[in-house]
Structures are given as structure tokens and as C-alpha cells.
Chains A and B, each alone.
Chain A
Amino acid sequence: MKFEYAPAPESRAIVDIKSSYGLFVGGEFVDPVDGHRFKTVNPATEEVLAEVSAAGPRDVDAAVQAARGAYTRTWQRMRGAERAKYLYRIARIMQERARELAVLESIDNGKPIRESRDVDVPLAAAHFFYYAGWADKLGYALSGREPRPLGVAGQVIPWNFPLLMLAWKVAPALAAGNTVVLKPAETTPLSALLFAEICQQADLPPGVVNIITGAGDTGRALVEHDGVDKVAFTGSTEVGKQIARSVAGSGKKVTLELGGKAANVVFDDAPIDQAVEGIVDGIFFNQGHVCCAGSRLLVQESVAEDVLSRLKYRLTTLRVGDPLDKNTDVGAINSAAQLERIRELSAVGEAEGAQRWSPPCELPERGYWFPPTVFTGVSQAHRIAREEIFGPVLSVLTFRTPAEAVDKANNSPYGLSAGVWTDKGSRILWMAQRLRAGVVWANTFNRFDPGSPFGGYQESGYGREGGRHGLEAYLQ
């Protein structure tokens, strides 16, 4: 059965993208001093959206100085209740401008408007609302310790959830009394620059939030800057390790939220239709550009055939295409470089002997696209079972006993998330205890909330974001 939908595009008219953007330093947009300009494109069309500044070392220094000045003069000395009200203001303005943020996010990132509208933006606003309430209650956050802010936080975020990752970083930092210099990802700077405008609208004191755009060099200069007291990074494990090395001996406090290769474990007594929805949500949400994506499906042998046939049928109903269409399920791959990596690892999957399958699906001619893909016959040694692909590619493995499921699930240097699908309550808790992962979703997947701590074990990084635990990362 094939469902036909009429196009239902969200209007782009609501966003006003400038032709060129400066850096947001000390409450103003300024031209880079020793940086250069680069372009950000719409990955769904390859259309150039705007020219953005890449901050050079002196620009980074100016931003850190601005943050330091705001920290010592204003923010650290402000009563928590007043800091709280600024954060509440920001949350409210984000809600007021939600549609604009969502459209801009989808244009710059390629993610479906359904997700930016229903997940990214509401959750980002909720993060500010949640942490606002902590700003005047810090004394209750730490057991037996006096809460003191750290100073200037240097924050580097990825391109998969640009605004949401900004909220995860900025909201707790500000609530705790720190000031920030944030670098959004090179390919998705626009929502952070719109957030800078929101800070202006909220009358946030200049220098409390500074946003510097750029690529890896800018991020490195920020992380290694002597004036930074705290480093928070979300991104690849490879870069996370570089950061851990570069801050060694500096005394800087660090939190790292890195890669993953999550096992999504389906037992034979699971509600199969719900599990199939969970598998789809786990790996095809946000084109699989999710560090906690359920990229390894572990399905019990006795139901493997049934689960796979229902999964494949479900994938034929996924709509891949225009991110701004409200019916779109899977949008564009964020960049040419990422598309290349997904293609390369998928080719390796085939070369190593796994069977590749994708639903029949027409991809747009322009832009960066990759169809939802399932690999079966995957062994634990295959690269597609070990390495993070960060795309809409699912590797399927099977198991017979719960103990085998645990062994296979934990056979990874990562440890960010895991899923369990079973109708048996005691088995859920038994599995949850044994899975070496920071987040375990049982009979659900890819759920997020500002009040729910998130972060990894092992090489998925350290520290938690969200909840009271996330606040601790920004307090001494």
C-alpha cells in the first residue's frame, strides 16, 4: 500500500537570513580581527545561505576577555534570583520565536521541520526554563559543598542538534553563574547567531554569552585559551581525546559528550510493533546524526525474521526529502563530508560481507542525501558494528540468551546509550543494571528531557548534562 501526500511545505518567509554575520562578542556583532569568512549552505539544496566569520586567535581572545569581564563585573556578583529571570526571559523569547528557530534550524541543518519544530526547539526552550529555576537554588544542588561558579566556560558544540546543544551548554553554565564563549559547528552556525539576537532582546548583560563561529581551529584556540576555566565539548570521540590531552595539566574542568554505538536489544516477548517504531526512532531520527542513536540492533534469534520483515515494511513508508515539508520523516545529510563518511563505511559494510538493504526511495537530485539503510548478517568484528557511522544506517546482529545480549551490547569502547525491548519487568531492570551505558531506554528510545541526566560511560565521554547532575559540571 502506498500513501500519497500532497506537498506541505513550511514557509521560509518567517526567517530573515542576513547575507553576512560577524562574531557575537561583548553583546555586539563585530567583524573578525584576524579571522576570515566562510559560507554556510543548505544541505538539502546546496544553496549558500550566508557568509559567516571564522574567529582567529585574537578574536577568540577578545571573546574570552569579554566573558571574563562580564563574569567578574556582573554575572558572578548578580543575585541568583536575577540571573534566573534572565534565563526565564530567554526561554520565553525562544518560545515566542519558536517557528522562526525551527525553520532556520531545518534550513541550515537539513533536519525535518517536524523534528526541529517538535523536538529541538521546544526542548531547547525547556532547558532554559529548567535551569533558570536552579539559579537561585544552587545551595541545594551540591551535597555538603558551597556552590561556586567556575568562571569562563569555553563550549564547543556539534552540528546535529545546533540549538539544542547550545541550550544544553549555555543554560546550566549561566544558571551556575559562569559566563560563556560558545562555538557552534562550522556547518550549522545560524541558529546560534539567532540566539545571540535573543540574548540582545533579553537584555542579557554584554559578555555573558559570546558566540564565535568557525571550524576546528577556532574550537582548538578556545579550548586551549588560558582564560578558559571550564571546557564543555560535544562531538566526536577522536576530538574529545584531543581535548582531554590538550587540557592535561591545565587544571581546567572538562566535560565531554562524545560518540556512541548504542545497542538496541529486542527480546522475543517484546511488543514487536512498538519495538519496530523504537528501532526506527532509534536510528532514523535526525538522519541518524545522533550520538546516542540505536545503531546496533540486537534482536533475539527466534523473532529476528519477524522483526526484520516488519522493520523493512515500515521503512518503505518513511518519507525522505525536503526538510521543510511537514510530512518528511528523514531529511538531508548535514554535509558533503558526512555523506562521504556514511558512503565509505557502508561500502566497507558490504565489502566485509554484510547484506545491505534500503527501501525503494527517490532522492532529490541536489543536496546531500542517503537512504535509510539496514545491514543484516553483521558480525561483532565488522567495522559497521564497531564504528560510529552517524547516519541512517542500522547494523543488525542476533543473540540467543540475555547473557549473550549483554555481552554483545557491551562489546564496544563506547557507552552512551542502550535500548531494551521486552514485556518482562524484571528483565528490563536486569538488563538496565548490566548495560554499560549512561542512558538506558526501556521500551522507548531517544527520549530527552532537561531534568534527565545524559552522558556516557567509557569512551563516550564524562560528565552529565541535564538535571541536577548537569549543574554540577558548572560548579566547583
Chain B
Amino acid sequence: MSDVTPRLAVQKTYKLYIGGRFPRSESGRSYQVSDATGRFLANAAMASRKDVRDAVVAARKAGPAWSGASAYNRGQVLYRVAEVLEGRRGQFVDEVVAAEGLSVGTATSLVAAVVDRWVWYAGWADKLAQVVGSSNPVAGPYFDFTVPEPTGVVGVVAPQSSSLLGLVSVLAPVIVTGNTAVLLASERRPLPAISLAEVLATSDVPAGVVNVLTGRTAELTPWLAAHMDVNALDLCGLTDTALAHAAEEAAADNLKRVLRPSTADPDGRAEPDWSAEPGLERMTAFIEHKTVWHPVGI
């Protein structure tokens, strides 16, 4: 007799992504994630302050090698992300449909745009310095040039609504220039971020360059904003203006560079149009310009 029991699907445990590993929250907490219709999808890890700090340590540790890699190398790594993602488009279409309630057709073109965004940013790795750097004609016998360098560890609050395209659109510009990132995924739609972390973990992105936390945005943002070893913040995903204000204030304690939440509409609620070509802004927000002088003479 054949077995008539239908096969039971193997469900994935969605964990954090810190230092190239997938740990649970040290707090042991998790929270329920539902799809757009309210159906239970999974229990996501609910990261704690300690997880934020562990992620910052991992990001700091990864900094020297990643920022010291050649721009050509970083470009290839980002392109590799696109390659690996391309082969897993189906999985991400399912995830985006579940998370955002899109039709399969819309989600399919959205995931294609995600792959293409990695390719777009990959190409910037070895070009940005030529566009934003300069040779400076000073009035004296000196050779003087200005080059962009990464700011360091960047805390990123990912968009709340666009769980994959928005996420990639804020993450790729941070790391392409050599920064390392601690990213807070969308609170209600965190699962695509963790699946993306699986792609990053298998795409030659060195451990610690990207760290992904899931949990309560309002709980985690203040710790990230006040952390003295974080150099910059992208507050994109903060829809609560009071929280954004407080984060910017906390950021002043060590003069973090702050990219404020987008103000696509007067309330600051709408997210940017993620389908549009990004421009340089999200890259240039997290670089420092270094000017070097040397005398000319014999």
C-alpha cells in the first residue's frame, strides 16, 4: 500500500545574521511574522541590545579587510551577489508575495529589479572615486588630490514596506564603497532580509560586512543610534518622526553622519520610489573625502 500522508514541508527557522553566522537572538526571544493577509509565516528572532552590540563588533572587525580590498574586488563581490540571487529568484518571489501581498507578476519584476540593482551598484565600486574625487589645482608647488573613503560602520534602518527592493537599495550603496553595515530589517516584513543574508553568506561577501537583525525597530534603533562605535546612520525605515528625531539626537554624541528618513510626502511617511534609478546620494552620504598634499620639487 502506498503512503497517503502528504509530505510535510520543512520549515525554516529565521535567525539573525551576525559576523557571517546565523545565531538566534541571545535574548532567546522571537516574534510572530504574518503574511499580508495575516496568516502566520514564521517566528523571527527578536534581537536585543546585546545583539546590536555583537553586530557592531562584527562589522567593525570586518572593516579593515573590506575597505582595504580593491574597488574592483568589491565590485566583483557585489556582482556575485547578483549572480547567486538570480538563481534563487523563485524563492524570493514567493517571499515577497508573502511579505508584501503582491501579485506573482509584480513580485517577479520586483525581484528582477533587485538583481539588477546589485549589478548597478557593483559597477559603481571602481567608478565613484572618479566621479566624486578630484585633483585640486592649488596655487603653489603641490600635488593635491581628493579621494572618497568609507565612513566605517553604518547602521541602517531598512524600509518598513519594501522588504526586499527597498532593503537592497539601502544596503548595496553602503557596502559598495567599503563600509560595513548593521541592518535592522523591516519589523513586520523581516523574512526576505534573512533569506537575502543566506545569499550574502554564499556570495563571497566577507563575514561581518553585512549583519542583519530582526526585531522591534523602536527597541533597537535607539541602541544603534547611541552606539559609540557606529560611524553613520541611515534612518530610512523610521516612519515614526519622534523616533527619528531621537535617533538623530543620539547620533550627535559621536557625530554620526545621518541620512534622515526620506520625505517623499510632507509627513515623511511614504518611501522613496525604489524602482527609479538611485543616483549617488545613498553612496555619498557614507563616504569621507580625504585630501592629500605633497610638494612638487626636485
Using a CB–CB cutoff of 8 Å, the interface residues on chain A facing chain B are 126, 143-145, 237, 240-242, 244-245, 248-249, 251, 256, 258, 413, 428, 432, 437-444, 447, 449, 451-455, 457-459, 461-462, 464, 467-469
8 Å CB contact of B291 from A143, A144, A244, A439: A439
Decide if B144 touches A452 in the complex (CB within 8 Å): yes
28 contacts between A and B (CB under 8 A): A241-B253, A244-B255, A245-B252, A248-B245, A248-B246, A248-B248, A248-B251, A248-B252, A249-B248, A249-B249, A256-B255, A428-B294, A432-B292, A438-B288, A438-B289, A439-B290, A441-B293, A442-B294, A444-B142, A447-B140, A449-B139, A451-B137, A452-B146, A453-B291, A457-B290, A458-B231, A458-B254, A459-B254
Decide if B245 touches A249 in the complex (CB within 8 Å): yes
Point out the residues of chain A lying under 8 angstroms from B263, CB to CB: 251
B295 part of interface (Cβ distance < 8 Å): yes
Rounded to whole Å, the gap between the CB of A247 and the closest CB of chain B is 8
Decide if B255 touches A467 in the complex (CB within 8 Å): no
Using a CB–CB cutoff of 8 Å, the interface residues on chain B facing chain A are 131-132, 134, 136-140, 142, 144, 146, 151, 231, 241, 244-246, 248-249, 251-255, 257, 260, 263, 279-280, 288-295
Decide if B290 touches A244 in the complex (CB within 8 Å): no
Q: A144-B280, A245-B252, A452-B146 are in contact. List 14 more A-B contacts (CB 8 A).
A: A428-B294, A432-B292, A439-B290, A439-B292, A439-B293, A449-B144, A451-B144, A452-B144, A453-B136, A453-B291, A454-B291, A457-B288, A458-B255, A467-B146
Whether A237 contacts B294 in the complex (CB less than 8 A), given A444-B142, A451-B136, comes out as no
Point out the residues of chain A lying under 8 angstroms from B291, CB to CB: 438-440, 452-454
In the docked arrangement, what's the CA distance between A443 and B270, Å?
A: 51
In the docked arrangement, what's the CA distance between A126 and B140, Å?
A: 13
Residue of B nearest to A428 (CB): B294
Decide if A452 touches B295 in the complex (CB within 8 Å): no
Decide if A413 touches B254 in the complex (CB within 8 Å): yes
8 Å CB contact of A449 from B136, B254, B288: B136
8 Å CB contact of B293 from A240, A249, A258, A452: A452
Q: Which 10 A-B pairs have the closest CB atoms?
A: A249-B245, A244-B252, A248-B248, A449-B138, A248-B249, A245-B252, A442-B294, A452-B136, A440-B292, A451-B136
Decide if A447 touches B253 in the complex (CB within 8 Å): no
In the docked arrangement, what's the CA distance between A195 and B293, Å?
A: 30
Decide if A443 touches B140 in the complex (CB within 8 Å): no
Point out the residues of chain A lying under 8 angstroms from B280, CB to CB: 143-144
Residue of B nearest to A247 (CB): B248
In the docked arrangement, what's the CA distance between A440 and B147, Å?
A: 11
Decide if A241 touches B252 in the complex (CB within 8 Å): yes
Whether A249 contacts B244 in the complex (CB less than 8 A), given A442-B292, A449-B138, comes out as yes
8 Å CB contact of B251 from A244, A458, A468: A244
Rounded to whole Å, the gap between the CB of B240 and the closest CB of chain A is 12
Decide if B295 touches A444 in the complex (CB within 8 Å): yes
8 Å CB contact of A145 from B134, B279, B295: B279
Query: Interface residues of B: mostly helix, strand, loop or mixed?
Result: mixed
Rounded to whole Å, the gap between the CB of B63 and the closest CB of chain A is 11
Point out the residues of chain B lying under 8 angstroms from A144, CB to CB: 279-280
8 Å CB contact of B138 from A451, A458, A469: A451
Point out the residues of chain B lying under 8 angstroms from A413, CB to CB: 254
Residue of B nearest to A413 (CB): B254
Decide if B279 touches A241 in the complex (CB within 8 Å): no
Decide if B293 touches A442 in the complex (CB within 8 Å): yes
Point out the residues of chain A lying under 8 angstroms from B231, CB to CB: 458
Decide if A453 touches B294 in the complex (CB within 8 Å): no
8 Å CB contact of A447 from B146, B244, B279, B293: B293
Residue of B nearest to A462 (CB): B257
Whether A447 contacts B139 in the complex (CB less than 8 A), given A240-B255, A453-B289, A454-B291, comes out as no
Point out the residues of chain A lying under 8 angstroms from B290, CB to CB: 432, 437-440, 457
Residue of A nearest to B137 (CB): A451
8 Å CB contact of B146 from A251, A258, A469: A469
Point out the residues of chain B lying under 8 angstroms from A467, CB to CB: 134, 136, 146
Point out the residues of chain A lying under 8 angstroms from B244, CB to CB: 249
Rounded to whole Å, the gap between the CB of B277 and the closest CB of chain A is 9
In the docked arrangement, what's the CA distance between A464 and B140, Å?
A: 21
Whether A455 contacts B289 in the complex (CB less than 8 A), given A249-B244, A449-B140, comes out as yes
Rounded to whole Å, the gap between the CB of A249 and the closest CB of chain B is 3
Residue of A nearest to B263 (CB): A251
Rounded to whole Å, the gap between the CB of A412 and the closest CB of chain B is 12
In the docked arrangement, what's the CA distance between A461 and B231, Å?
A: 11
In the docked arrangement, what's the CA distance between A145 and B137, Å?
A: 24
In the docked arrangement, what's the CA distance between A17 and B140, Å?
A: 34
Residue of A nearest to B253 (CB): A241
Residue of A nearest to B244 (CB): A249
Whether A447 contacts B257 in the complex (CB less than 8 A), given A438-B288, A442-B294, comes out as no
Decide if A249 touches B289 in the complex (CB within 8 Å): no
Residue of B nearest to A429 (CB): B292
Decide if A447 touches B288 in the complex (CB within 8 Å): no
Rounded to whole Å, the gap between the CB of B124 and the closest CB of chain A is 11
Point out the residues of chain B lying under 8 angstroms from A244, CB to CB: 248, 251-252, 255
Point out the residues of chain A lying under 8 angstroms from B142, CB to CB: 444, 447
In the docked arrangement, what's the CA distance between A455 and B291, Å?
A: 9
Rounded to whole Å, the gap between the CB of A161 and the closest CB of chain B is 17
Point out the residues of chain A lying under 8 angstroms from B292, CB to CB: 432, 439-440, 442
In the docked arrangement, what's the CA distance between A444 and B141, Å?
A: 11
Decide if A459 touches B146 in the complex (CB within 8 Å): no
In the docked arrangement, what's the CA distance between A458 and B142, Å?
A: 26
In the docked arrangement, what's the CA distance between A149 and B249, Å?
A: 26
Decide if A444 touches B252 in the complex (CB within 8 Å): no
Rounded to whole Å, the gap between the CB of B65 and the closest CB of chain A is 13
